[in-house]
Amino acid sequence: MVKLFSKFLNFVFPPICPICGEALESYGALCAKCWAGFNWISNPKCFKCGYPFPADLDLGPYPMCPHCAAGENDLDFIRSACVYDDVSKNIMLPFKHAAALKYQMVMSRAMINVLRDLNLNVDIVIPVPLARRRLFKRGYNQATLLARPIAKHFSAVLDVDTISRKYKPDMGHKNAKQRRENVRGVFKILNSDKIKGKKILLVDDVMTSGATFYELNRVLRKAGVSAVYAVSFCRVVHAI
Ligand SMILES: [Zn+2]
Ligand SMILES: [Zn+2]
């Protein structure tokens, strides 16, 4: 029955590359040409935060970036599928602001992929919350859409109501320090019994300075979680 249905689906909506429209074998993928346009993050990278290092560097099995080495990142692991650039922006922004759902599977699959070699045990997946005002305006939280297939992959609970977020005007082009101050105190744990002792995976579409993940990590640790991981589709990469 499922097979018959998928044959029917293939006939009515044949799988195509969501970027260029080329016909494909299966759903939720990109064509080889569009795939090759992304700056996917592979090794070598910081083993804690996933910051990409130049490809020709041999830094041993556990390379660390200066931020993590300085103890500025208290999450267990952060990973991002690709670098934020004109190519990733072209699917990330329509997905975020114009509900371009055709990119959902491609983005969350890439995020699942980048977590694979960490062999994580995840109890609860939490999409980075939007303030209620933003959520009403946009109608959906793009991070929740990305988190759903990820939670399914880990057989984890998808949790969208344990953390609330206070509204604050957009962070715009602020530097890392201003971003940290701007996000400080905006998250509130509404029910810590639900997360105590659990391993949490945070999900967002883009990581800019890491300030949002760091702040969520701070409040989650205070609430007694046992591990905090985070994954984003893309991340802004500055030279360090
Ligand atoms: Zn394509
Ligand atoms: Zn790092």
pLDDT tens-digit series, residues 45-103: 999 999 999 887 777 888 999 999 999 999 999 999 999 999 999 999 999 888 788 99
Residue 48: the pLDDT is: 96
Q: Are 68 and 210 in contact (CB under 8 A)?
A: no
Distance in Å, CA 63 to ligand 2 centroid: 8
Q: Which residues contact 17 (CB under 8 A, 6 or more apart)?
A: 24, 29, 30, 31, 34
Distance in Å, CA 67 to ligand 2 centroid: 6
Q: Which residues contact 236 (CB under 8 A, 6 or more apart)?
A: 84, 206, 207, 208, 209
CB atoms near residue 40 (< 10 Å): 16
Distance in Å, CA 76 to ligand 1 centroid: 35
Distance in Å, CA 97 to ligand 1 centroid: 21
Ligand (nearest to CA of 77) = 2
Ligand (nearest to CA of 18) = 1
Residue 194 pLDDT > 80: yes
Q: Give me the mean pLDDT over the 20-33 stretch.
A: 93
Distance in Å, CA 23 to ligand 1 centroid: 9
Distance in Å, CA 45 to ligand 2 centroid: 8
Residue 100: the pLDDT is: 81
Distance in Å, CA 110 to ligand 2 centroid: 20
The domain locations on the chain are: 1-36, 39-235
Distance in Å, CA 21 to ligand 1 centroid: 6
User: Residues of the chain with pLDDT > 90: what percent?
Assistant: 74
Output the average pLDDT for the chain. 92
Distance in Å, CA 82 to ligand 1 centroid: 17
Residue 4: the pLDDT is: 67
Q: Are 180 and 213 in contact (CB under 8 A)?
A: no
pLDDT tens-digit series, residues 28-37: 899 999 999 9
> d(Cα 150, Cα 137) in Å, to the nearest integer?
25
Best-predicted range by mean pLDDT among 158-162, 167-171, 176-180? 158-162
Ligand (nearest to CA of 70) = 2
As beta bridge partners, residue 207 has 235
Ligand (nearest to CA of 51) = 2
Distance in Å, CA 61 to ligand 2 centroid: 14
Question: Which amino acid is it at 125?
Answer: V
Q: Computed from CA positions of residues 215, 129, 89, 45, in that sequence, does the dihedral angle turn out positive or negative? A: positive
Location of structure tokens 């890439």: 110
- CA distances, 61 to each of 3, 57, 111, 113, 230 (Å): 43, 12, 21, 19, 21
pLDDT tens-digit series, residues 116-133: 999 999 999 999 999 999
Distance in Å, CA 98 to ligand 2 centroid: 32
Q: Which fold has domain 39-235?
A: Rossmann fold (3.40.50)
Residue 56: the pLDDT is: 79
Please, which pLDDT band fits residue 6 given cuts at 50, 70 and 90? low
Distance in Å, CA 32 to ligand 1 centroid: 7
Question: Which amino acid is it at 145?
Answer: L
Residue 172: the pLDDT is: 67
Distance in Å, CA 16 to ligand 1 centroid: 8
